[in-house]
Structure 1
């Protein structure tokens, strides 16, 4: 039990609130008595961040280590920066590797590894002309075996990024009816084809603006189709992937209810290392930018904490909306908003405390604090 200066709820900010926890849940949020003797925390209490696109962190890349230990290490690395739930993301690879990734997710969930709520398969059903750092030789149309792999209920929430020019609308509908969140990405599709995919059941776009057909006046592309409808979109706000003006445009078009912060984090995230390997290609860090030797952006070393800070400082988004983009909106997309993604009595006690400088002071996951004391 403690008192916090500011608490972000679905109804907005509440001030001088007493937070009572019971096990893994929030028991109550209510005005604190004026004469309370409880621990008092200055700053802003936010819902724990939910990252739907995280390839790795803490020195581990999911594609390179499909194990429960690797998933725990990735979760622990991002936990230090406010993420209390993740969709570990497995990028384009062969079927045997996809199978190992699925087995690791199933095992981690069976062992109740906190925060692993499902899996995101980014590929292999992508368009080679917009491959980014994905391997073009692994890109392909979906097979029956791959569709069966993705629809295993033991995986939890499943997200798939695909290019609609590589997948029929019938398959998109099949995936959507199975409860899979279909996102468009690594695609050169026209706006017309993108809209057909949305009508078939696709729910959004992966890393908006990156690796997709761009918005032009008479050729809106996937970007234009996404901005013009009520689908979801992930966006990487690291100062490199998307210009601040484009971020502000996306925010104005979609609002905090449909725009999500994502990291697209690689193994270098939450480490001090300056390079790592990706399928035999060396990825180098220059400051906070990851590229290949040719200069191609290769994911990021972003954390959700930095994404929230950047949304506020670079894009002029309020802290309340940045927090919603980092927690409430992804929870809603994933169908987890009945028990996480915002702060209320009866929900999971996944919380982040930031000071007025937006520095992290404490993280709670399932009611357990990350640090023994509030950081100063």
Structure 2
């Protein structure tokens, strides 16, 4: 597609800019310049880099834990791409060591696929009392077997995000993981504020799905959530209006000492772009009124994609649109040390998302509408 496309708003270098025109030639952006009276081939509402989602358990009917293969990863990414997400970290949750090892093999094999930026290992090194829907049979302390997996992934050049309960981890093993370049995130944890603060001081640089699977804020026991908010760590957030109420997300964003260090995640399960139920640890999880619940009615992951999270955070949560876009695009990539994705000459048009006036995903820049 060769065309001149004129978005009403374009996300460029961390700002929403009106009045620009994007020249597309040979599947890439050739130029970004003021429209300046030129007649475009197409006008659209908003152009932005496709989001990067650091927490994707599944999609398109596929759960990574149960289909830990390059084909499974491709199916998950395809389901999210249809909904406007450009890049993902396939996420393997608490399971048997063999499942983690298979997931690592799958990501190494899939590393050349477009939009596969690494792997998120969420558990099994978590606090049993904060496990959420994770299977308690497989929870265990950080060990040399997991370290061997991390070493293999990093030797293959795969970016790795590891969520664990820092208060339960052997400091020496944590230091070894950190030395490999693994991004360490506090999550599914009962850490006190003091324990969490110490962990952030020792190289934990992130917190996983803030407020969820951690002690609630309390005025005499602030816990991990408060320590994370007041730190300079990167904080992941599930913005579906179900996992966290909007005022709490706004409070956390507003209270950060360093702006721009919150990012959106979907925590998506196979129902995103797929059927309305799936099996997790041999038990049925179903979609009910927008919530994913187990047979006890407890939340079990999220039925959410990044574009929906962005729109809800702005339209329902009252967060400024520019901040929501940054939380879906620039922030997650910076949190993982990934190269930024910019709207600039040379950028593939298929990596740039087009949104309509209601902030719904309207296609990719190489095939808008």
Q: TM-score range by the shorter chain?
A: over 0.9
C-alpha change, 1:333 and 1:22, in structure 2 (3 Å) is farther
Q: Which residue of 2 aligns with 1:118?
A: 118
3-state SS of 1:210 partner: coil
Q: Which residue of 2 aligns with 1:144?
A: 144
Q: Which residue of 2 aligns with 1:191?
A: 193
CA distance in 1 between partners of 2:163 and 2:26 (Å): 36
CA RMSD of aligned residues (A): 1.7
CA distance in 1 between partners of 2:85 and 2:172 (Å): 35
CA distance in 2 between partners of 1:44 and 1:283 (Å): 35
Deviations 1:8-53 (A, max 9, x none): 11252222212134667544311124133x4122201111100000
Q: Which residue of 2 aligns with 1:359?
A: 360
CA distance in 1 between partners of 2:96 and 2:307 (Å): 33
3-state SS of 2:168 partner: coil
Deviation at 1:187, TM superposition (A): 0.7
Deviations 1:180-215 (A, max 9, x none): 110111111111111111111111110100001222
1:241 pairs with 240, 243, 246, which one?
A: 243
CA distance in 1 between partners of 2:297 and 2:248 (Å): 21
Deviations 1:96-121 (A, max 9, x none): 11111011101111xx2110010000
C-alpha change, 1:78 and 1:9, in structure 2 (3 Å) is same
- Write the mapping of 1:330-345 to structure 2, written as runs, cut at 5 A: 330-338=332-340, 340=341, 342-345=342-345
Deviation at 1:303, TM superposition (A): 0.7
TM-score, reference length from structure 2: 0.94
3-state SS of 1:208 partner: coil
1:35 pairs with 20, 34, 38, which one?
A: 38
Q: Which residue of 1 aligns with 2:279?
A: 277
3-state SS of 2:315 partner: helix
2:91 pairs with 89, 92, 104, which one?
A: 89
Q: Which residue of 2 aligns with 1:260?
A: 263
C-alpha change, 1:361 and 1:266, in structure 2 (3 Å) is same
Residue 45 of structure 2 corresponds to residue 6 of structure 1: no
3-state SS of 1:35 partner: coil
More off after superposition, 155-164 vs 50-59? 155-164
3-state SS of 1:315 partner: coil
Asked whether the 8 Å contact 1:169–1:196 carries over to 2, the reply is no
3-state SS of 1:321 partner: helix
3-state SS of 1:53 partner: strand
Specify every segment of 5 or more residues in structure 2 that has no aligned partner in the other structure, as ranges: none
Specify every segment of 5 or more residues in structure 1 that has no aligned partner in the other structure, as ranges: none
Deviation at 1:61, TM superposition (A): 0.2
3-state SS of 1:226 partner: helix
C-alpha change, 1:101 and 1:291, in structure 2 (3 Å) is same
3-state SS of 1:186 partner: coil
Residue 184 of structure 2 corresponds to residue 167 of structure 1: no
Q: Which residue of 1 aligns with 2:219?
A: 217
Residue 176 of structure 2 corresponds to residue 156 of structure 1: no
Asked whether the 8 Å contact 2:278–2:285 carries over to 1, the reply is yes
CA distance in 2 between partners of 1:156 and 1:25 (Å): 26
Asked whether the 8 Å contact 1:256–1:322 carries over to 2, the reply is no
Asked whether the 8 Å contact 2:11–2:343 carries over to 1, the reply is yes
Deviation at 1:128, TM superposition (A): 0.5
CA distance in 2 between partners of 1:89 and 1:16 (Å): 39
Q: State the aligned residue count.
A: 362
